[in-house]
A and B are shown apart, each in its own frame.
Chain A
Amino acid sequence: MIPLSHYLVVSALLFAIGSAGVFLRKNLITILLSVEIMLNAVNLSFVAFGRFNGTVDGQIITFFVMTVAAAEAAVGLALVIALFRGRESLNPDAFTSLKW
């Protein structure tokens, strides 16, 4: 049987990749995708813990996360489209008018 630590390492790697994508990429759609990778990294660790502890809690939470992620993707993409209509750009650095 594969030990828990392997799942967690994979999960940590996925999370690191996701957050690197959020901070480093300059395309809003890529950033959204990176956020999805981070969420799935968390899902993986939940499911692994649940399996390891012999409970279903982790799997239930994962369903919640997937639901929220779906909603978030819908809203996020809608926002991206609206932003693109405004500025003709997907670079997050173009949207800095929300400051003093």
Chain B
Amino acid sequence: METIIDFDTVSYTWPGGKGLQDVRLAVSGGDFVLVSGPSGSGKSTLLRLAARLEEPDSGTVRFAGVPLADLDPPKLRRRIGYIQQTPVVMEGSVRENLLLPYSFAVNREEVPPSDTVLQDWLNRVALARVGLDDVAAALSVGQKQRLCIIRSLLLRPELLLMDEPTSALDRESRHIVEQLTEELNREGMTIILVSHSDYRPQVAHVCVTVKDGRVAGGDGRMAMNDASAEVV
């Protein structure tokens, strides 16, 4: 498979001083990359750099071989799904929240999915009891997170970045989100998931550790600045 996202000697400094140093990481299409490491080590920054929510001080991040700086940010981001640690829903109904991306100029050519498609997605993430007209803000945190995942998936991203998506969820919701993530990977979606817990996916995955601003781990296809591979 071709490399979908590639960090080429990327360094990034936080306002406080520390940051990521000379990160080299190449993720192929269809990979499931599990990123772990202590709090504040730079795991989330890695994802934020991939989504261009932060810009590297030096080095290049490429998406499908093209430097991110050469891509129009909205067009890039509609190809990358990004799931935040804390789900964010807007005022309005479940339907309005799910269709939010279609109100943006970059997605205007896309045909919004029908209610049937939306309901199928809700059923798939065990939200069958949630109606499309329900108020999104009234859902539990776990339900909101699942809603956010569907919202990202509706745009059919090529890469899904998940920043500790289950850290605020109860056990049941966590299990549902983890299962869905693995299913999506089995269907061919590339996943980079940051996890602070001892979660180990049931699908073949690559473990990457971020520690003291350096990235370690990966399999033979990954170029690392400190190769200590762990392939599960």
The yes or no verdict on A and B being binding partners is no
A→B interface (CB under 8 Å): none
